[in-house]
Amino acid sequence: MTSPDPLLETDFMREMLRQVRAMDSYGILDGKNADELLSPFVLTREDRANIPLIGDPDAEIIARVSAFYNAIAVLIEKECGQMAVPLVHLSHEGFGRVLVTVGKLVVLDRPLRDVHRFGFESFSKMKTEADKQLALATELVGRYPEVARL
Amino acid sequence: MTSPDPLLETDFMREMLRQVRAMDSYGILDGKNADELLSPFVLTREDRANIPLIGDPDAEIIARVSAFYNAIAVLIEKECGQMAVPLVHLSHEGFGRVLVTVGKLVVLDRPLRDVHRFGFESFSKMKTEADKQLALATELVGRYPEVARL
């Protein structure tokens, strides 16, 4: 047995796990460990190269994108003590937009592209990306607290 | 021939028409007049009573909801001179949320319910609703210009 990855003990990765488990209505993932549950979020360069450039994202990938941004929203909420509402909007062929709002403030707003190839090179890269988004969001809430409270 | 409704000459109703025509990729609606093109947006109490309480919205109704909020976004943009981005998000059974953002400011944010029964009692009621949303949105942009410019 390998020693558990300390990354998996971070707030973000714990929340990711919670999100993935919450989506598992039928208990298909029961008994799997953290590493197994989160491994679909990792896509090496090689994996990515093997996925066609254009494709429709399936329900599983859409759930993954939602899990990622939901987890970020939960951390934003913890950090600033106000409700953070995520909204993942996808049109055909994996194009779309993800928003997180706190009050009337848009604290995260990103275009989504090539969602059928959604993934990160490693857990570490995934967490770095989430931390970056979290920092930007909380900075915005700190700068415009009045709008965030609306 | 009836005299044209002065309502149809307003900015909002003209924009509604533009939206409806823009969605008509196959020219099915060519040759129809404004009244005919916009009549699907009118749902009398009687019409509404005849629609089941629970239902899945079809593509046509979703297009109508989008047309309505797109038109409001266009007017917000005209009014405040900055890009207003609408986002209509629907899940199953016609529940969802519509947002319009200007910069990092959420200028319109409404839950959507019973979208399969989307409609207004009259053109006048539809315009009143749009005017109300427009006034709230521009008031917000006026109050937080810095956030709207982000």
Mean pLDDT computed over every residue of chain A: 90
- Is B70 an interface residue toward A (CB < 8 Å)? no
Residue type, B75: L
- Is A125 an interface residue toward B (CB < 8 Å)? no
Q: How far apart are CA A112 and CA A61, in angstroms?
A: 12
pLDDT at site A112: 92
Residues from chain B that touch A103, judged by Cβ atoms under 8 A, are 106
pLDDT at site B51: 85
- The architecture of the domain spanning A6-148 is Orthogonal Bundle (1.10)
pLDDT at site A125: 95
A4 pLDDT more than 70:
no
Nearest-CA distance A134 → chain B (Å) = 16
Q: Tell me how far CA of residue A48 lies from CA of A56, A98, A118, B140, in angstroms.
A: 15, 22, 9, 43
Closest CA to A85 of A62, A64, A109, A63: A109
Report percent pLDDT > 70 for chain B. Answer: 97
Q: Complex ipTM, two decimals?
A: 0.83
Closest CA to B1 of B49, B33, B46: B33
Q: How far apart are CA A110 and CA A61, in angstroms?
A: 17
> Domain segments of chain B: what residues?
6-148
- Is A105 an interface residue toward B (CB < 8 Å)? yes
A2 pLDDT more than 60:
no
Q: How far apart are CA A133 and CA B93, in angstroms?
A: 32
| pTM recorded for the entire structure | 0.86
- Is B113 an interface residue toward A (CB < 8 Å)? no
Residues from chain B that touch A102, judged by Cβ atoms under 8 A, are none
A18 pLDDT more than 90:
yes
Model pLDDT for residues B31-46, shown as the tens digit of each residue:
888 888 999 999 988 8
Give the CA dihedral A34, A35, A40, A42, nearest 10 degrees: 130
CA–CA–CA angle B76, A142, A148 (5° rounding): 40
- Which carries the bigger pLDDT value, residue B17 or residue B114? B17
